[in-house]
Structure 1
Amino acid sequence: MYRNVLCLVLGLVIGIRLTDLFDYLRLTDSRDYALTQAPAATPQVHTETKTETEADIAAWLFNETRVLCLVLTIPQWHHSKAAKVKNTWGSRCNKLIFLSSEEDKELGAIDVGVPEDRKNLYAKVRAGFAYAYKHHGEDYDWFLKADDDTFIIMENLRYFLYPYDPEAALYFGHKFHTDFPQGYMSGGAGYVLSRDALRRLNLFALNNTRFCPVNTLSEDRQIGKCLRNVGVVAGDSRDEEGQERFLPLSPKHLVPHFPTTGWLSGLVFYKPTETCCSTTAISYHYVKDFEFEIYEYLLYRLRVFGIPVPQRTLPMRLPQQQLQRQLEIWSKEKTTNHKKG
């Protein structure tokens, strides 16, 4: 009797174990089949909803929003102003090229074939944009022109540019008013062209004196006219509070209030806000040699204990229809204090 009971128990145990084994094998086979039939996993991509630090976003933007920097300089400043740019903000460009009348491979300067003279700045910038398009026109998303006494906060520039399609015909900077409605961008504050803007400038403007006259007038205004004549829109780079991001002066001349007198007050396209300037500022002009290291220290090394730093996430890219509407608005806007001349 005990033997029969023992055999019955052993049979039940063995049966249960065999059932578990069969189930395991069936599940394993099903999983393996599913894995072999499933589509290949897509690589992880960056999304605006992913939680990341600002450092992570800035590092990712370096390759996502690629900027070629063109910096005007002259031979006598290769080892002073230009070297300061290269060792500070210029090191954060995706590619840095100095436009000079003398080649300097160590610095990264090219000879654009234009004699050094203030009246030749326009010709020099034309030659620089032609060089950039010929050698790098499809390699980068945006093309920044700056002077060697300008300081650019490249991380803020990329963050600002990210929502905009580089294949849209537009450019950004500090907008001045003139006799054509959409205005032009200050050369000293620096301005940045989209890939399509650079393409249009080279294919349709620089080789057509009707669209882009050759003269010795101010570089920034003439480039603005050339771009306007080939359908490039002068965009608005101000922040959500209407404060300027591209600044044609250094902070000591701007803070706490934007100047209401002097040459700058007579050129601004948008009415200045009561306080200056944007907390996401991109550029400052008239930076002295010794100030480059000061900017570098204050912006990239100094940390204030107890001051909270709000975490930012990437803005959404503008859909094509919304971008097109925005371009139409910018192309038609006029300054409230527009003056002809």
Structure 2
Amino acid sequence: MTRRRSSHSFLSLISIAICLLILCPNGLVKSEEEEDNELTADQIIFVVVTQPNKYHVSRAEEFKNHFKAQFTDIDKDDHPKLYFTHKEWDNMNGAWTFFPIFKLLEEELDDKAWVFICEEETRLNIQELTEVLSNFDHEEDYFLGHALQDQQATIIHHYAFHDNPKSFSYPDIGAGVALSNSLFTRIGENWPDEEYRLDFSIDPKYELARYIDNDGKGVKMTDIKQLCTTRSSKGCATWYPTPFPDCGKEIHEDKLFVAVKTCEKFHKDRISVVKATWGNTTTHIEYYSETEDPDVPTVDLGIPNTERGHCGKTMAIINRFDSHPDFQGYTWLLIADDDTIINLKRLRKLLACYDSKEPIHLGERYGYNVAKYRWGYDYITGGGGMLLSRAAVDIMKKNNLINCNTNESPDDMTLGMKLKGIGVPLIHTIYLHQARLEDYSPEFLRPRTHVSFHKHWMNDPYKVYDYLMKEPVEEPVIEEGHDEL
């Protein structure tokens, strides 16, 4: 009896298998409709956030080579569209905020399924990425990314979700972010959204997620594990392979002059921290105040202290750098606040990537009215450190721009306006930071090596400096051969 039942069960399984494989068109065999709807790489538009500077253009070129190497010559005409923001929209200030891109690409989406946005340093396996996206219906609203979360309420996110910061997720653009045709098109049709106030662009990845979420009435970001920030495990469709640029040996200490802005009330508490930490790692440093203090010592620039703005003090520093004969050998000027915390050796390593003979204004980029209006401008926010090449100072001098409307005008915004007016491109770096270490998601900080943070408020600046001075432990990156598509 047992054998007979076993034989009967075995024959039944064979019958079911035959039905599934031959007689049942909707079983294991894909229907023609399913095959027609299968996602292909050419249905994805790729947008890479890049910058119009010689070094960054070379990074964009390396991304393009990495991207194209994954396709055969046979299907060259079917390659996905690849856009670089510095190339396609070089006259569009706010492309880095993502919002203007929605309107610019609106007409390109007719036969496309997804728009994928990433950074120039992002690396990806297009075949694996296509397989990930195929799990989602592009005709519905989807917003996919690698989730970041704040550990505490932070000023750079306007203290949103102060009662539970971890309740809101936003994407790491280094891992890439994907928006479905349905969602992307809907935003493009409504942009610029006059009901949405966005005067200042500070953290574009967060601001994009907040807009799409629409106070809980819109679309929340879906965390995708295959969108990675490090390639520490298998199955990553994207990853961020380089924690810090390597352009060779750091520039010589004698090429970087450091100017620290301070005032009399902070000579003891703030300057003492600077001198006990990063200030003692260079001899090419001066402290600028409204009074001379031989104990620091400080340099009196003849500019009265202001409670805000500090444009007069900053422009006086630039004038001194330009005109004082002792400063002519320096090729870079760093202007820092007295509560900036910075690793100068790491900064000089970063500066090795840039040519000081080019007019360069480098630091963490903020924007004023660039997301919605073409007349806005970008600027380097001062707390993380503002860097000017010698060529940038020379061109400002030539155009009589080393001046202010008032001493208390905002120095960083004034510099941004002036340099935009003469066509000097601002260069953004993700390694200098306007806010405190505590104000950034640990998941964002982990795969990158950082140069500076800002403020001594409600933290221990000595511990922050220790963090910045630790040599990063790089995870091994195994470059695997890409499957041709």
TM-score in same-fold range (> 0.5): yes
Shift of the 277–172 alpha-carbon distance from structure 1 to 2, 3 Å rule, reads farther
- Provide the C-alpha distance between the structure 2 equivalents of 1:166 and 1:65, rounded to a whole number of angstroms: 14
Is residue 2:353 matched to residue 1:163?
Answer: yes
Question: Mapping of 1:126-205 within 5 angstroms?
Answer: 126-135=315-324, 136-179=326-369, 180=375, 183-205=378-400
Instruction: Note the C-alpha offset of 1:96.
Output: 0.8
Aligned-partner residue type, residue 247 of structure 1: H
The letter for the 2-side match of 1:158 is R
Q: Equivalent residue for 1:104?
A: 293
Task: Give the TM-score normalised by the residue count of structure 2.
Answer: 0.42
* Equivalent residue in structure 2 for 1:250, among 436, 449, 453: 436
The letter for the 2-side match of 1:253 is D
1:216, distance to aligned residue in structure 2 (A):
3.5
Distance 1:59 1:170, change over 3 A: closer
Contact residue 100 and residue 110 of structure 1 kept, 8 A: yes
Q: CA deviation at 1:60?
A: 6.1
Local SS of the residue matching 2:333: strand
Counterpart CA distance in 2 for 1:308 and 1:277 is 10
How many Å apart are 1:159 and its aligned residue? 1.2
Q: Return the alpha-carbon distance in structure 2 between the equivalents of residues 202 and 91 of structure 1.
A: 31
Asked if the contact 1:80/1:289 (under 8 Å) is kept, the reply is: no
Q: Once superposed, what is the RMSD of the aligned Cα atoms?
A: 3.1
Output the CA distance in 2 between the equivalents of 1:123 and 1:68.
19
Cα distance between partner residues in 1 of 2:263 and 2:289: 5
Contact 2:343 2:465 in 1 (8 A): no
Aligned length: 226
Structure 1 partner of 2:270 = 81
Rounded to whole Å, the distance in 2 between the matches of 1:161 and 1:256 is 25
The 8 Å contact of residues 169 and 231 in structure 1, kept in 2 or not, is answered as no
- Measured against aligned partners, the alpha-carbon deviations of 1:32-88 in whole angstroms (never above 9, x if no partner) come to xxxxxxxxxxxxxxxxxxxxxxxxx99963526721111111112112201211221
| Larger strand fraction of residues | 2
Matched, 1:218 2:404: no
Aligned to 1:267: none
Once the two structures are TM-superposed, the CA of residue 192 in structure 1 deviates from its matched residue by: 0.4
On the 8 A contact 2:356/2:390 being kept in 1, the answer is yes
Cα distance in 2 between the residues matched to 1:225 and 1:83: 34
Structure possessing the higher relative contact order (Cα contacts under 8 Å, 6 or more residues apart): 1
Question: Structure 1 residues 168 and 103 mapped into 2: Cα distance closer, same or farther (>3 Å)?
Answer: same
Q: Is the 8 A contact 1:102 1:109 kept in 2?
A: yes
Unaligned runs of 5+ in 2: 1-245, 370-374, 477-485
Q: Which residue in the other structure is 2:34 paired with?
A: none
Distance 1:256 1:60, change over 3 A: closer
**Aligned CA distance change for structure 1 residues 278 and 129 (closer, same or farther; 3 Å):** farther
> How many Å separate the matches in 2 of 1:58 and 1:65?
18
Tell me, which stretches of 5 or more residues in structure 1 are unaligned?
1-56, 238-243, 258-274, 312-341
Residues 178/289 of structure 1: CA separation in 2 closer, same or farther (3 Å cut): closer
* 8 Å CA contact retained: 1:85, 1:292: no
- Which residue type is aligned with residue 107 of structure 1? V
In 2, Cα distance between equivalents of 1:278 and 1:217:
37
Following the alignment from structure 1 to structure 2, what is the Cα–Cα distance between the partners of residues 101 and 235? 31
The TM-score, its normalising length taken from structure 1, stands at 0.58
For the 8 Å contact 2:432–2:450, the answer to whether it is kept is yes
After TM superposition, the structure 1 stretch with the greater mean CA deviation from structure 2, 78-87 or 100-109, is 100-109
Question: AA paired with 1:187?
Answer: G
Larger Rg, first or second structure (1 or 2): 1
Deviation at 1:219, TM superposition (A): 1.4
Query: Is contact 1:67–1:94 with CA below 8 Å preserved after alignment?
Result: no
Aligned partners of 2:409 and 2:432: how far apart in 1?
22
SS for the counterpart of 2:388 is strand
